[in-house]
Amino acid sequence: MKELLWVVCLSVLLGCGSPEVNGEEDFMLLAGPLTENVATGEHECSLPVAAASEPYFKVLQSRGVTHVKVPLSWTQLLPAGLPSQPQQDAVQCYKTVMKQLLKVGIQPLVILHGSSVPDALRSRYRGWENQELVKMFQQYAEFAFKEFGDLAQSWVTLSDLGSIWKNGQTAQQNILQLNKKLYKIFHKRFPGKLFAGKKLSFGLETKDMATLPHLEASTAADFLSVHIEYNCASPGDFEQQLRDFQISSGNLPVLIYKMTVHECAHGQQQPIEKLLHVLQNSGLDIIGSDIVEILLKMDQRKASLRYDFTSHFYNKVEYDVYLLRGLQVNTYQFSISWARIFPSGHRDSQSETGALYYDKLINALIESGIQPVVTLYHWDLPQALQDNGGWTNPTIVEAFKDYADFCFSRFGDRVKTWNTFSSPWVVSHAGHGTGEHPPGVKDYVTSSYQVTHNIINLMPRLGMSI
């Protein structure tokens, strides 16, 4: 069975009919963890923090990410299991990661425990049926609250409570009491009047819904962290699954912490489409993002969604060129936007801001040993020209020549290879024949041939400009 784990998961801290809804601060767009140990999901703090982590966090923030998972390792922090003997390098590593996140405007979502228990404790106490191990975890949690409490607002105690819940009745009782104790300890250390926004959770899979009444979730968590599963071969009632889970929790706010997809073809969009449909139309107070970005504005119980597939290249030239450098490429092809250079399509509307952007990109590429290859036209025609007939109007030939002359003059000292048009057939046939492409004209007889004529007429003039 093929599984795909989506690392950017949807989430929201918003309860059904909650009077405390206060807009965007209740919304999370969650990513992470930044980890090299996929099996345990723990952040790797046995090594120094990677130099590229802060630029990576900046990219996430530019894409709307509000929170990043930071799973702590009990083993790395307290190898002997004792708060009096912490591994200081690991403590500083986690603090560095959280500070980097906060610096770029992202909140850490701290996970106390995934699966690993320090060997010294496991060999001595074995499992959660032993009260001594439970006491040691409580000490570890208090240690973490003390060390990292000023760096994180949102916490998850046990990210897979359901798996521990299956370890027998004694373990169940111990975990139940542990969660209630941790909830009291957390809110005693961080009282609401002084630390507004501090929230504690535990993690469950939707299939473990039957355990919720036993957990008395409302006395042990401020919100629930849920791992949901989706099978493309038998999707079932995805919406009802989420609805039942929220009702069983006593209408606690829900964070979709992780989503695992089974038996889906590569690139299959069905889970995304189904998820977005449920979020937008179900009336559930669960909303957020997955692989596609969703820019969300909340108005109490309502939300509007906009799907944004852009890479935000305009705002992160340095970082993307840094990534290209890491790939050891020697050329990079991009297109110049006519509308960004001449918003009206004509030289008298020249935008220096637009030209400086391309200067910045070209210079960054050359400084990195990468040769720019530039396309003059990739279908983005200034609207003012389209309003005047666009490519069917013969005057566009002179307008495009002026635009090309400017580009050759401004960037030609650094750009050696130029493409004029990207797939002119798309403009003439799909844009003005079948109407499948903007501007959506369906006119095989006249418009398509006018466009073809003007493009062909333009080509020799561009050659003379170069």
pLDDT tens profile 370-387: 999 999 998 888 888 988
Average pLDDT over residues 382-393: 90
Model confidence at 47, pLDDT cuts 50, 70, 90, reads low
Model confidence at 408, pLDDT cuts 50, 70, 90, reads very high
Give the per-residue pLDDT at 41. 42
| Secondary-structure breakdown of the chain: helix, strand, coil percentages, each rounded to the nearest 5 | 45, 20, 35
Q: How far is CA 380 from CA 338, 344, 383, 458, in A?
A: 7, 12, 9, 17
User: What share of the chain in percent tops pLDDT 90?
Assistant: 30
E-only strand ranges, 25-119 = 27-31, 67-71, 107-113
Report the SS3 class of residue 373: strand
Residue 120 has pLDDT above 50, yes or no: yes
pLDDT digits (tens, 9 = 90+) for 179-216: 889 999 998 888 865 666 788 888 877 777 666 666 66
Least confident of 7-21, 40-54, 328-342: 7-21
Give the per-residue pLDDT at 358. 94
Would you list the DSSP string of 129-196? TSHHHHHHHHHHHHHHHHHHGGG-SEEEEETTHHHHHTS-HHHHHHHHHHHHHHHHHHHHHS-TTTST
Better-scored residue on pLDDT, 217 or 453: 453
Residue 334 has pLDDT above 90, yes or no: yes
Average pLDDT over residues 25-46: 49
Which of 238, 259, 253 has its CA nearest to residue 286?
A: 253
Find out whether 310 and 317 touch, Cβ atoms under 8 Å: no
Which of 433, 438, 426, 422 has its CA nearest to residue 383?
A: 438
Least confident of 46-50, 174-178, 223-227: 46-50
Q: Which domains does the chain have, with CATH numbers?
A: 3-308 (3.20.20.80), 313-465 (3.20.20.80)
Q: What is the 3-state secondary structure (H, E, C) of 104-143?
A: CCCEEEEEEECCCCCHHHHHHHCCCCCHHHHHHHHHHHHH
Per the prediction, the chain carries an average pLDDT of 75
- Cα gap 132→120, rounded to integer Å: 13
Model confidence at 397, pLDDT cuts 50, 70, 90, reads very high
Average pLDDT over residues 318-337: 85
Residue 39 has pLDDT above 60, yes or no: no
Which of 177, 296, 163, 169 has its CA nearest to residue 227?
A: 163
Give the per-residue pLDDT at 452. 93
Q: Would you state the structure tokens that stand for residue 420, as one six-digit string?
A: 């004029």
Which of 277, 212, 289 has its CA nearest to residue 251?
A: 212
Q: For the sheet containing 107-113, what is the strand order?
A: 3-6, 254-262, 223-231, 199-205, 154-158, 107-113, 67-71, 27-31, 9-12
Which amino acid type is present at position 424?
P
pLDDT digits (tens, 9 = 90+) for 271-303: 555 555 555 445 554 433 322 222 222 222 233
Q: Do the bridges between strand 293-299 and strand 199-205 make them parallel or antiparallel, or are there none, so unpaired? A: unpaired
Q: Among all chains, which residue has been given the structure tokens 């009802």?
A: 240
Residue 419 has pLDDT above 80, yes or no: yes
Residue 257 has pLDDT above 80, yes or no: no
pLDDT digits (tens, 9 = 90+) for 92-108: 999 999 999 999 888 88
